[in-house]
Amino acid sequence: MKLDTLLTEQRNPASAGIDRMSTAELLRVMNAEDHKVADAVEAALPRIGEALDRIAEAMQAGARLFYTGAGTSGRLGVLDASECPPTFNVPPDLVTGFLAGGDGALRRSVEGAEDSPEQGADDLEAYGFQQGDVLVGIAASGRTPYVVGAMRRARALGGTVISLACTTEAEVSKHAEIAIEVLCGPEVITGSTRMKAGTATKLVLNMLSTGAMIKLGHVYGNLMVNVQQTNEKLRDRARRIVEQALEIAPEEARQLLAKASGEVKTAIAMHLLGVDAAAARERLQGANGNLRQAVDAGTRAH
């Protein structure tokens, strides 16, 4: 597909005269275009849901999730992956993001790196991708050679391959088992996919990683019960999570956490199941760390 035919390369008539607009006018145009992104993501929810279920199933079987892309797409993948360990206390290699040009491209663009499918394939293997793992190939334009190369190699290795693009009939869609196309339309600045396409990508990646963590039992209600308590803010959040989950006073939450050696899920399980820390940990282990399942099983037993 020629570049000039891509949806992401089309001119947006709403912003054709943006260089002559007042500040208020140009901001209204940008904001109006941004409003279209959520609707475009909504239209893609069925495929996003398929992808989420495959990712969760793979993780439950011990596999990992990888994101790859170039430029903004690659940076957003790395961002989403890097937020999973502190938010959900999962191993740092459970979700991995890598991009064309390597980690140096996070800060300084390496534009030519995206043109090598061979490098994409080699980088995928260098990160240890193996059979059963899942790769999400992100390409706003839908045709990044680096991403296509990684996707081809992932399929050859026996992995699950998902694509995420912001154009129709994307090249990456042809190499994916599940193809997500979020059609948010031409950018305010022609071809600047760090804008609407970047926002759409961020929303979809949020859904995939957060949804998978929910299905793995790393939240209870809407509380991040696996939070890493690495600073004072997060220690305070842990106390508030216990307080909110159990509807108890702050001091009681502190005492529970102390008895649970600071483990949020253990503290909640202790209170709800009426057991000590050791028994709570045993119940959680029997439920593969899923607090909801441990609590529900304990409640049924009584």
Non-local CB neighbours of 149 within 8 Å, separated by 6+ positions: 116, 117, 118, 119, 120, 121
- Mutual orientation of helices 250-259 and 232-246 as an angle, nearest 10°? 110
DSSP letters for 82-138: HHHHHHH---TTSEEEEETT-GGGGTS--GGGGG-HHHHHHHHHHTT--TT-EEEEE
Q: Helix, strand, coil shares of the chain as percentages rounded to 5? A: 60, 10, 30
Tell the residue number behind the tokens 């607090």, with chain if given. 291
In angstroms, the CA 136 to CA 206 distance is: 13
- For the chain, give the number of residues: 302
Q: Catalytic site residues?
A: 83, 114
Whether the CB-CB separation of 159 and 131 falls below 8 Å is answered with yes
- Mutual orientation of helices 264-273 and 291-301 as an angle, nearest 10°? 10
In angstroms, the CA 153 to CA 68 distance is: 12
Q: Nearest to residue 256, comparing CAs of 237, 236, 276? A: 276
Strand order in the sheet with 178-181: 95-99, 65-69, 134-139, 160-165, 178-181
Tell the residue number behind the tokens 């534009």, with chain if given. 111
Tokens encoding 7: 């949806």
